[in-house]
Homo-oligomer: A and B are copies of this chain.
Amino acid sequence: MTGVVRLLLADDEHLIRGALAALLSLEDDLVVVAEAASGPEALAMARAHQPDVAVLDLQMPGADGVKVATSLRAELPGCQVLIVTSHGRPGHLKRALAAGVRGFVPKTVSAQRLAEIIRTVHAGNRYVDPELAADAIAAGDSPLTVREAEVLELAADGAPVAEIAERAALSQGTVRNYLSSAVSKLGAENRHSAVRLARERGWV
């Protein structure tokens, strides 16, 4: 019907990439035309080989899966992007969908299942792992106000309040206030874990 699906595989873990290529090649209608071990390399390979579907790992050296996906959408509109990941953090899923990614699955799926999902994506449909989707929905929308998120982001690298205040053009008291409010909304113990939590949920 749709003929053969040409695949680009990108993952920095050689072991997995090779194994994956071998397994997917067992499927008659799938063929791996290119492999890459980093974000930039994936882009270059995509330009050279014009795959139908790009299977990208979320975490890669250079540029992560979502960044590659964004570039790919612009350069090769006909190429659908499927993201595969070990760590299914809600924030990543949200970012990925916003970047035009068509599929998002954890590495816990079987190869057979992955092959099916590749076909689904190639047909123009979307696929998001139900469990990851549930997590993302459960995480919901950010309870943080604009300023709270802004201040929390400035606090991300452990900067002292004085520096945050200067960079945000606010008084130190105000900064403490926003930080405190964010910490309580997130149910965190201190600003550091608040930053971590917000990161995980994709709210900063």
Binding site for B on A (CB under 8 A): 12-16, 18-20, 22-23, 37, 84, 86, 106-111, 114, 158, 189-190, 192-193
Q: Write the chain B residue with the least CB distance to A159.
A: B189
For A190, the chain B residues whose CB sits under 8 A away are 158
10 shortest A-B CB distances, which residue pairs?
Answer: A19-B19, A13-B107, A192-B192, A15-B107, A14-B108, A19-B23, A158-B189, A14-B110, A16-B16, A18-B111
Taking the nearest CB of chain B, how far is it from the CB of A22, in angstroms? 6
A193 to B193, CA, bound (A): 12
Q: Write the chain B residue with the least CB distance to A23.
A: B19
Taking the nearest CB of chain B, how far is it from the CB of A161, in angstroms? 12
A15 to B106, CA, bound (A): 9
Which one of A12, A19, A108, A189 has the highest number of Cβ atoms from chain B below 10 Å of its Cβ? A19
User: Would you call A15 and B158 a contact (CB within 8 A)?
Assistant: no
A114 to B19, CA, bound (A): 12
With contacts A86-B13, A86-B86 known, is A19 near B158, CB below 8 A? no
User: Would you call A108 and B13 a contact (CB within 8 A)?
Assistant: yes
Write 18 A-B pairs (CB below 8 A) sorted by A numbering.
Answer: A13-B106, A14-B110, A15-B16, A15-B110, A15-B111, A16-B16, A16-B19, A18-B23, A18-B110, A19-B19, A19-B22, A22-B22, A22-B23, A86-B86, A158-B190, A158-B192, A158-B193, A192-B192
